[in-house]
């Protein structure tokens, strides 16, 4: 089914649903809740530069004209862009509908509503006004929102009863990360909204891999979440809580951005700072943790100077295969170890791929450049990566210490058998020299101090049996 056909199908469904409930809507037109303009829904913006939209009137108008109930600026917004209407019901017959009246369109979860047509708006839906969500964005005109239907209380134990969702932090191949705050403690979290298992399976299955194998990857990912709940290290971004039914993962909030931005802002990083950051990263990874997708984007930093390192994004990289890496994660290709691509019969690879990634990262930090020289005449990306060589002269030009040079060369060995493992790299002379200059950490939390959901992680894993999960994948 094409995107256009999918959109038409949604419109037909919305029309049938709407007409079937018109009598209910008219019967409740005198609802005092609507007359008093109490807020029944909120559109939370993705961008911190945009205000939230609180929906109160029975028929709420949005557009560029001052006559609207909420005014949006920009040449992509029509004078009267759309209306949002709630049928006034506060039970399972409740529904909200958006009718588009614009030139440039409105999108719900990627489906466009064309002029004078409408779609149903559901709890958690993404709404975009005036521009498709894949186009470049200006923060002040980034009219992308997540919808919360506040007229109906969230069911006990759901995400919305405990947390408020803030703004989008970033996006990955199979997830979106938002900030969120606990209603009870006021503590901020990074909340990973993971694509549904069916969406992940469908994406994986496109890359010449059988559906059964893709389904198995998702099952393994769910199991791994249970392991990550128990993983504790001061330099690992802690997994705090999991809402299995909603595919939401709560992570420790890290306020300083990632290592890629840190390098970009400085062009290159001095050896002392590089060593301090890398000591923390290797110390965490030496715990026999197999990451598989190490790169500066997945090394988070606090805003302190010197920064505290938090390794993030464990696990999800295992859902995708090597072909998917090359197609959907261009940044990953720069840090991927040779054996990942040269394996012929999917014989696999081990933790030494993480050593290679750390070697590339240290080289990049100290020189401000990639270590590799590639033949641009080779069109196939996989072949080009396999054929690339390392430009060692860059290290000599930067006049780094002999210990740092030895550390990098020990990690960037093409043959894994000659490569330094991270458990041994942790005690390399160069890295050990930075052990006593580490930044202060917050007092470690009691590893046994877990929420009710987290304490029962193992039970939840058993409860989410393979049969039950696979049934959900086919739903």
**Both structure tokens of 325:** 């890496």
Q: Where are the alpha helices (DSSP H) in 176-270?
A: 197-205, 211-230, 259-266
d(CA 401, CA 404): 5
Helix (H, G, I), strand (E, B) or coil at 20: helix
15 assigned binding-site residue? no
**Which residues are within 8 A (CB) of 55 and not within 5 positions of it... i.e. 6 or more apart?**
39, 40, 41, 42, 43, 84, 86
Among residues 293, 297, 313, 405, which one is catalytic?
Answer: 293
Does 116 qualify as catalytic in the annotation? Answer: no
Contact predicate 238/252, CB 8 Å? yes
Of 454, 465, 440, residue with least CA distance to 231: 454
d(CA 322, CA 338): 11
Cα dihedral value 358, 364, 367, 370, nearest 10: 120
- Give the number of other CB atoms < 10 A from CB of residue 185: 9
Contact predicate 287/233, CB 8 Å? yes
Q: Phi, psi at residue 95, to the nearest 5°?
A: -150, 155
Helix (H, G, I), strand (E, B) or coil at 240: strand
Q: What angle do CA 394, 398, 400 make, to 5 degrees?
A: 110
**Both structure tokens of 331:** 């940044």
DSSP letter assigned to residue 409: H
List the binding residues.
192
Residues marked as catalytic: 293
List the binding residues for ATP.
192
């Amino acid at each position: 089914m094409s995107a256009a056909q999918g959109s038409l199908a949604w419109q037909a469904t919305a029309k049938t649903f709407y007409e079937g409930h018109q009598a209910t809507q008219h019967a409740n037109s005198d609802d005092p809740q609507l007359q008093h303009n109490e807020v029944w829904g909120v559109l939370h913006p993705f961008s911190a530069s945009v205000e939230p939209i609180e929906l109160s009137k029975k028929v709420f108008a949005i557009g560029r004209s001052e006559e609207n109930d909420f005014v949006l600026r920009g040449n992509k917004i029509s004078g009267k862009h759309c209306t949002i209407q709630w049928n006034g019901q506060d039970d399972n017959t409740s529904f909200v509908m958006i009718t588009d009246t614009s030139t440039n369109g409105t999108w719900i979860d990627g489906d466009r509503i064309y002029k004078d047509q409408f779609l149903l708006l559901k709890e958690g839906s993404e709404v975009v006004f005036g521009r498709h969500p894949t186009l470049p964005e200006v923060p002040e005109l980034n009219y992308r929102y997540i919808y919360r239907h506040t007229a109906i209380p969230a069911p006990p134990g759901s995400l919305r009863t405990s947390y408020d969702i803030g703004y989008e932090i970033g996006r990955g191949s199979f997830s979106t990360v938002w900030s969120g705050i606990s209603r009870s403690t006021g503590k901020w979290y990074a909340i990973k909204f993971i694509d549904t298992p069916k969406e992940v399976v469908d994406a994986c299955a496109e890359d010449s891999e059988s559906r059964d194998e893709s389904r198995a990857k998702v099952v393994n990912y769910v199991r791994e979440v249970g392991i990550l709940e128990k993983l504790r290290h001061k330099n690992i971004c802690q997994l705090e809580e999991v809402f299995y039914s909603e595919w939401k993962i709560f992570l420790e909030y890290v306020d300083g951005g990632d290592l890629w931005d840190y390098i970009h802002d400085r062009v290159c990083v001095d050896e002392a700072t590089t060593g301090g950051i890398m000591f923390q990263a290797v110390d965490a990874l030496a715990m026999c943790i197999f990451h598989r997708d190490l790169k500066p984007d997945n090394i988070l930093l606090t805003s302190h100077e010197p920064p505290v390192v938090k390794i993030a994004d464990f696990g999800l990289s295992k859902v995708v295969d090597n072909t998917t890496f090359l197609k959907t994660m261009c940044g990953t290709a720069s840090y991927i170890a040779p054996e990942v691509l040269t394996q012929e019969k999917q014989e696999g690879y081990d933790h030494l791929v993480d050593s290679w990634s750390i070697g590339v990262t240290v080289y990049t930090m100290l020189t401000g450049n990639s270590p590799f020289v590639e033949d641009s005449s080779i069109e196939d990306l996989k072949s080009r990566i396999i054929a690339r060589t390392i430009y060692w002269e860059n290290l000599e030009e930067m006049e780094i210490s002999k210990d740092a040079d030895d550390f990098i060369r020990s990690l960037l060995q093409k043959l894994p058998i000659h490569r330094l493992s991270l458990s041994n790299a942790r005690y390399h002379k160069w890295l050990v020299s930075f052990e006593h200059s580490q930044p202060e950490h917050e007092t470690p939390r009691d590893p046994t101090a877990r929420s009710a959901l987290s304490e029962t992680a193992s039970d939840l894993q058993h409860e989410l049996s393979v049969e039950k999960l696979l049934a959900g994948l086919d739903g």
